[in-house]
Each structure stands twice: as structure tokens, then as C-alpha cells.
Amino acid sequence: MIRLALEAVSRWAIPLLLAGVPLYALTRKVKVYPAFLEGAKEGFQVAIRVIPPLVAVLVALGMLRASGALDGVARLLGPATAALGLPPSVLPMVLVRPLSGGAALGVVGDVLRGDGPDGYAGRLVSVMAGSTETTFYVLAVYMGSVGITRYRQALPAGLLADLAGFGASVLVVRALFGP
């Protein structure tokens, strides 16, 4: 019931916004079309401004993946994390999630195919993917768009949040679905 309502909202939100906001603006005598173009121009420039920081971050992360450093860490940590309720097939998720959204979805796809969507590993990897974000990408885009190079507490806070999301995922999936 709640689920259906939420899914309906997420299906209708964008079309309704696109029609509703300009309609309301018309009744408030806003020059809708010129205003739209002005904002759109700004949006385009922001997208261009984001390119240099994004190149820097994605190149560094691409190198990290290609170097095999992540595989090495996964081999080292495997036995320890299995004891914490993290199946070996899900471990790459934890390592890759803050770095690359595409790679994380790749891991989800692998686990769902390999272990099935309704096993412990399948549910766990789904919840992990939904409850965390691609921290490095978000920071590169958001901070980069206004030319910030010193992120201060945002980076550790984002990584700690990912860690908390993973831990909570293990606990919640165990509690709701059993190991």
C-alpha cells in the first residue's frame, strides 16, 4: 500500500512538476519562456564547469581499479568480513561503492545473477546499493561546480556515512529477512 503510493509519486512527480510549475508561473504573470531559457543557460554552463574536476577524480579511481588494488584488498579482508555477516560476493560492493556508481551497480547485477535476488546476499547487496551514494563522484561534481578544492569535513563525513549504511544494511537485512 505505502509502497504503491511511493512508486506512484516517483512516477508522477516529474511530469506533474514539468506541467504544474510553468502553469502556476503563468498565473503569477511570470514571463515563463525567457525565464526558462535563462535558467537553462546557467544549467548548461554548470555542466561544463564540472568536467575538469570530474576528469581528475574519475581518472584517479579508474587507475585504482585497473591497478588491482581493490582485488588485493578484497582478498586480504575476505575472511575477516565474512565473520561480520558480509558474504565474499558482496565484499566488492563495499570497496567500490564510494568510488564508482556504475561499478557498484555492476556488483549488484553480478550478485543478483549469481546468488539470486531473494537470498541473503541478493537482498543485502540491494539494500547497500540503495542506502549509500557514490561519495567521490558526488563531491567532485558538487564541490567542483563552484570551484572548491578543499572539501574539509565533507569527505570523511561522506565515507563514514557509507560505512554506516553498510553496517546498518547488514543488521536490518538480518533482522527483517534472516541470515
Partner 1 sequence: MSLVWVLLVALSVAVAAATGRIEALTPAVVESAGRAVTLSIGLAGVMALWLGLMRVAEEAGLVRLLGRAARPVLRRLFPEVPPEHPALGAMVMNVAANMLGLGNAATPFGLKAMAALEELNPHKGTASDAQALFCALNTASVQLVPATVIALRAAAAAPQPADVLGATLIASLCATAVALAAARLLRHLYPRPPEPR
Chain residues 66-95 in contact with partner 1, contact rule CB under 8 A: 66-69, 72
**What one-character-per-residue DSSP string does 38-105 give?**
HHHHHHHHHHHHTHHHHHHHHHHHHHHHHTTHHHHHHHHHHHHHHHTT--TTTHHHHHHTTT-HHHHH
Residue 146 binding partner 1, by CB under 8 A: yes
- Spell out, one character per residue from 36 to 55, where the chain touches partner 1: x when CB under 8 A holds, - when not: xxxxxxxxx-xxx-xx--xx
Indicate the DSSP class of residue 119: S
Binding residues among 10-39 for partner 1 as defined by CB under 8 A: 10, 13-14, 17-18, 21-22, 24-25, 28, 30-32, 35-39
Is residue 133 part of the contact set for partner 1 (CB under 8 A)? yes
Q: Which is nearer to partner 1, 78 or 156 (CB)?
A: 156
Closest distance to partner 1 from the beta carbon of 104 (Å):
10
> Shortest approach of partner 1 to residue 80 CB, angstroms?
20
> What is the CB-side half-sphere exposure of residue 173 using CA atoms within 13 A?
24
User: Taking a C-beta distance cutoff of 8 angstroms, is the pair 107, 92 a contact?
Assistant: yes
Q: Determine the Cα–Cα distance for residues 15 and 30; give it in Å rounded to an integer.
A: 20
Among 78-86, 88-96, 170-178, the segment contacting partner 1 (CB under 8 A) = 170-178
Residue 83: CB minimum distance to partner 1, A: 20
Kindly write out the interface string for residues 150-169 of this chain, putting x where it contacts partner 1 by CB under 8 A and - elsewhere.
xxxxxxxxx-xxxxxx-xxx
Rounded to an integer, what distance in angstroms lies between the CA atom of residue 130 and that of residue 26?
38
- The values of phi and psi at residue 127, to 5°, are -65, -40
**Residue closer to partner 1, measured from CB, 43 or 79:** 43
